[in-house]
Chain A
Amino acid sequence: ILNVEQSPQSLHVQEGDSTNFTCSFPSSNFYALHWYRWETAKSPEALFVMTLNGDEKKKGRISATLNTKEGYSYLYIKGSQPEDSATYLCASPTSGTYKYIFGTGTRLKVLA
């Protein structure tokens, strides 16, 4: 089974700070890497789907990069706002299958 790991588990930042967190995955037989945002009492919502080494995606103040050779992806949030408070999940399919494995998430709390 593929191991998808995320760090840190949680972090608190002040409003206006920029922050980033990491998703790591085995680099062999890579297919895709998904990022999801999961607010409390809601369902996960997709942020990015990344497939190519060197991919960089952006949505507003949130961006992500992908390094498939070394097996990691970074998610960046610029100028964090309280509404960015959520758990951020990454997921990747197990090599050669349709089985997506999720990391345990990074729980972000932005303090006003």
Chain B
Amino acid sequence: NAGVTQTPKFQVLKTGQSMTLQCAQDMNHEYMSWYRQDPGMGLRLIHYSVGAGITDQGEVPNGYNVSRSTTEDFPLRLLSAAPSQTSVYFCASSYSGSLSSYEQYFGPGTRLTVT
């Protein structure tokens, strides 16, 4: 099992450019999520999905889109990059979003800089 994989590891964008951060998991997990990590702010939830075809907004969704066409993949799209989106992005998955709870498995992260 590769677990949760993310590509790219590093990316530099110019303001206004768009791009997609890729996330995939091979554990047949229902629940997938995207977080951003900023100094002093901890991990903040951007979007999440409880299964193929089902997505919802997290705490900081503005400027980001997601889709979940398969169980394995959960890409995060930046529509028009802004310097405020400079951050480290983590994708995570868990067996279920059930509130009786399963731990989340995190990918290695993507460090994004917007100039």
Residue ranges of A at the interface with B (Cβ–Cβ < 8 Å):
1, 31-32, 34, 36, 42-46, 49, 51, 89, 91, 93, 98-105
Contacts and interface: CB of A to CB of B under 8 A. Distances in A.
28 contacts: A31-B100, A32-B100, A32-B101, A34-B101, A34-B104, A36-B104, A43-B90, A43-B106, A43-B107, A44-B90, A46-B103, A46-B105, A49-B102, A49-B103, A51-B101, A89-B43, A93-B101, A98-B31, A98-B48, A98-B97, A99-B45, A99-B56, A100-B104, A101-B59, A102-B35, A102-B42, A102-B44, A104-B41
Interface in B50-95: 50, 56, 58-59, 90
Nearest to A30: B99
B25 interface: no
B93 to A, nearest CB: 12
A43 B99 contact: no
Interface of B: 31, 33, 35, 40-45, 48, 50, 56, 58-59, 90, 97, 99-109
Nearest to A33: B101
A74 B102 CA distance: 19
A31 B101 contact: yes
Contact of A102 (B43, B100, B101): B43
B100 A101 contact: no
Contacts of A89: 42-43
B48 A99 contact: yes
Contacts of B44: 102
